[in-house]
Structure 1
Amino acid sequence: MIDDLDLGFDEPERGEKGRHRRGFRKGKGKSGGGRGKTFLALLMALLLLGTIGGGAFYGFDRIQNYFVTPDYDGSGAGEITVEIKNGALLADMADALVAADVVKSQKAFIEAAEANSRSKNIQPGTYKLRKQMSGANAVTAMLDLKNKIVNGLTIPEGRTSFNIYKLLSEKTKIPVKNFQAAAKDPEALGVPEWWFKRDDGKKVVKSIEGFLFPDTYEIPPKSTAESILKLMVNRFLSVSGEMKFADRVQEERKVSPYEALIVASLAQAEAGNKDDLGKVARVAYNRVYGEFPCNCLEMDVTVNYWLEATGKPTKTSAEMNQSELLDTTSPYSRKLRGMIPTPINNPGKQALEGAMDPPSGKWLYFVAIDKQGHSAFAETYEEQKRNEAKAKEAGVI
């Protein structure tokens, strides 16, 4: 074949020698043999070049696919909802979008997000998107709040678990009893077992109270009572963990984290102003662990918690009768020696900070002295009586 190819391509340049050879063959009686071989050689050369070219194209296509990001083209079609969970990284978001066939590849979304400086504003939640979108279009769609399914609910600071169940039920239409049932096992909802250890020798009562962190939550579609409470517990653990709440109260306050959480709830309930959260916490510590005659709290808010827990209406201090104020049978009695069994509400971050790092002071008493909720604090009962007189003059009590 090499000879044939050589003849086919070199013959015009051979001069006389080439013509002599051609004439010699012709003399052998093989008319037209040289021309036929030339045609065959040309045909085979073209086939060979085609094969080489086809292989090269196939290889190039494979290499190109390796380096080029698989991506859909355009804004997609149809409609689908995708949930982006709390704490999701770009890779986690990409996985959720690929699974829903919103984007073609994880790489397509990540590259588009990294190219868009606003992508850091993509929030957890549920989004209404289209199928088979380009990575860039998916990022743009998730930054448009019109595509986010908003089912938000704000839990105010200082609400009891009983009140929170009602708020959640009104928003989600999930029965209150479902939340009550889910709350019976706080550890199943994510509260670590070590949170229920106390240093004061009191019996441990495992309650969800205190762990349902007040915040605004996006309630995902098809949520259950259990999944919602888990969401709130996880938020509490994140916030308290960032604060190093447990470590600091043990090292600096010399009390268990659970006892400090109870103090935070007391401060949240008693302080009429955020400026006083730390001071109220200090009073609680001083009364229970300091030089206070009964080492009891003597706070009306604990009475109200017991009323609510037993299905009775809560009251103002002025409305409470002597039997309620002096009741010693209640586990939340004002006269109970030591710290009460559980938190009495779900405190916010500032109340936690107040219990973790209260200002120094020997205060044992306090009373609201203005209509903005500010309190005056006293070390002695005589000083407290003078502050109460000021409060009366201001029309507060």
Structure 2
Amino acid sequence: MLDDLDAVLEEEGQAKPDAPGRRARGRGGRSAVAFFLTLVLLGLLAGGGWLAYTKVKGIFTDEDYPGPGGAEAIVEIKSGQSATEIGNTLYQRKVVASADAFVAAAKDNTRSKNIQAGWYRLRVEMRASDALDLMLDPKSRWVTKVTLPEGLTYQQTFQKLSEATRIPVAEFREAAKDPVALGLDESWFTRSDGKKVNRSDIEGFLYPATYELSPKADATGVLKTIIANFNAEMEQLEFAPTVRKARGGITPYEALIVASIAQAEALKDEDMPKVSRVIYNRAYGEFDCHCLGLDSTVNYWLRITGKKTKASEDLTQSELHNPNNPYNTHDKPGLPPGPIGNPGRAALKGAMSPTGNFPYYFFISVDTAGTMAYGKTGADHQRNTELACRNGIPLC
């Protein structure tokens, strides 16, 4: 087409002018043809340019939806995912038109690094920047949050988990039968005192904390999350190596039992190391019967066997000295068979690092604020008990 146009223009330029007075012939026709051909050529060039633009625009701009989006899309973002990985996840769920559009939006938003792992309620065909904004809104995260306080038994823990997740308690009981399969190291189930360990007992390993659980998780998944947190906390505390090094042969499992008892007996964090030391003194020291003499262990047995727990003053002698109760620490020496609850950080630290040079064998709360008094002898303990009675503790 360009060659044809050049030929026409050359012909016009070489044509001889007509004689003066004569009317020019054909010049207007040839000019009109050239003008027409020029318009056609420009039209073709314009059309070709637009076609080329539509074909290459994706090279220079990231494909994106105009928004605002349609049907709901539930998307899981995993811990440690990069912006590209998140973009690919959103693209696969048809939330964004391209992963690159999401990456570009993330680069333009300094808050994008705050995206948390979890499940999100988004929409299909969203503008990438809108999807990012929604993921940075805490209200869009779809999580099940549950707080497990310190000292809960496994039964109480399962009940709270069931209420939060709507998973039946029976499913948690079934999933808990093999703690090792849930991620617990089997080395935990060892003792130095010769007592048998129940390897199916999950008590003590359900670390108290606030958990954000996947709404898609089953009972096994929930318990794996909790056990993983227990493992992380134990590693951070250096619980096992500290116990093995400092406690003269006592195993981490025995220290975990002590922590659970300290959690049940002491109200203040400052008393956890002292109560732990008293327990060690009685179980492994020079105490005559090597028995702990604790009502909390008796109550634990009542609870897990489906009976009501009682205040110390209401426990009968038959309950305190029941020979069929493996958690009877009034008559049976040493530590009970296992933990009596799930201790928190303060109790764990107290059990792994109990107060040194603390030659006491008795403790008791002497007021309603939880102030503890300690005694070396039975006579000391009697005086502390009388003080507790004067302060309104119903023991006398």
TM norm structure 1: 0.79
Which amino acid in structure 2 is aligned with residue 229 of structure 1? L
- Residue identity in the other structure for 1:188: A
1:130 aligns with 2:123: yes
Alpha-carbon distance in 2 for matches of 1:379, 1:97? 66
2:165 alignment counterpart: 172
Cα distance in 2, alignment partners of residues 201 and 114 from structure 1? 61
- The match for 1:302 is 297
Which of these residues, 63, 79, 85, is aligned with residue 72 of structure 2? 79
C-alpha distance in structure 2 between counterparts of 1:165 and 1:288, whole Å: 31
1:366 Cα deviation (Å)? 0.7
**CA distance in 2: counterparts of 1:141 and 1:322, whole angstroms:** 62
CA displacement, residues 250-284 of structure 1 (integer Å, 9 cap, x when unaligned): 22334322122111111111112232222222222
Give structure 1 stretches of 5+ with no counterpart: 20-38
Match of 1:271 among 259, 266, 269: 266
Whether contact under 8 Å (1:366, 1:375) holds in the other structure is: yes
Q: Structure 2: give runs of 5+ residues left out of the alignment.
A: 16-33
Contact 1:265 1:346 in 2 (8 A): yes
* Aligned counterpart in structure 1 of residue 246 of structure 2, from 240, 252, 255: 252
> Could you tell me how far apart the structure 2 residues matched to 1:117 and 1:363 are?
57
Number of the residue aligned with 1:99: 92
> Quick one: structure 1 residues 343 and 53, their matched pair in 2 at CA, closer, same or farther if it must change by over 3 Å?
same
Q: Which residue of 2 aligns with 1:385?
A: 382
CA deviations over 1:111-149 (Å, ceiling 9, x no partner):
544543434443343321112333332221122233233
Distance of aligned partners of 1:172 and 1:62 in 2 relative to their CA distance in 1, 3 Å threshold: closer
Task: Check 1:298–1:128 CA distance in 2 against 1; reply closer, same or farther (3 A cut).
Answer: same
Task: Identify which of 192, 209, 221 aligns with 1:227.
Answer: 221
Partners in 1 of 2:355 and 2:121 — Cα distance?
Answer: 49
Q: CA separation in 2, counterparts of 1:111 and 1:363?
A: 66
Alignment of 1:11-26 (within 5 A): none
- Which position in structure 1 is the counterpart of 2:206? 212
Matches within 5 A, 1:166-205: 166-205=159-198
Moved more, 291-300 or 263-272: 291-300
What amino acid sits opposite 2:311 in the alignment? T
* Contact 1:90 1:110 (8 Å CA) reproduced: no
2:134 maps to 141
Offset at 1:183? 1.1
Q: Is the 8 A contact 1:102 1:131 kept in 2?
A: yes
SS at match of 2:182: coil
2:230 to 226, 232, 236: 236
SS at match of 2:310: coil
Identify if the C-alpha distance between structure 1 residues 352 and 60 changes in structure 2 by more than 3 Å, giving closer, same or farther: same
* Matching residue of 1:338: 334
For residues 253 and 108 of structure 1, the distance between their equivalents in structure 2, rounded to whole angstroms, comes to 58
Residue 358 of structure 1: how far off its partner (Å): 2.5
Q: Which 10-residue stretch deviates more, 382-391 or 152-161? A: 382-391
In 2 relative to 1, CA 221–250 (structure 1 residues): closer, same or farther, beyond 3 Å?
same
CA distance in 1 between counterparts of 2:52 and 2:106 reads: 34
Question: Which shifted more, 289-298 or 113-122?
Answer: 113-122
**Aligned equivalents of 2:236 and 2:107: distance in 1?**
27
CA distance in 2, matches of 1:129, 1:337: 59
Distance 1:310 1:132, change over 3 A: same
Q: What secondary structure, in the 3-state scheme, does the structure 2 residue paired with 1:127 have?
A: strand
1:327 matches 2:322? yes
TM-score normalised over the length of structure 2 = 0.79
SS class of match (2:121) = strand
Residue number in structure 1 paired with 2:352: 356
What's the Cα RMSD here? 3.6
Counterpart check, 1:314 vs 2:309? yes
**Paired letter, 1:340:** P
**Corresponding residue number in structure 1 for 2:23:** none
Distance in structure 2 (CA, Å) of the matches to 1:209 and 1:96: 38
Could you tell me how far apart the structure 2 residues matched to 1:170 and 1:312 are? 22
1:104: how far off? 4.1
* Partner SS for 1:179: helix
Contact 2:144 2:165 in 1 (8 A): no
| Amino acid aligned to 1:133 | M
- 1:25 maps to none
Match of 1:368 in 2: 365
Q: Percent identity?
A: 46
Does the Cα contact within 8 Å between 1:292 and 1:364 map onto a contact in 2?
Answer: yes
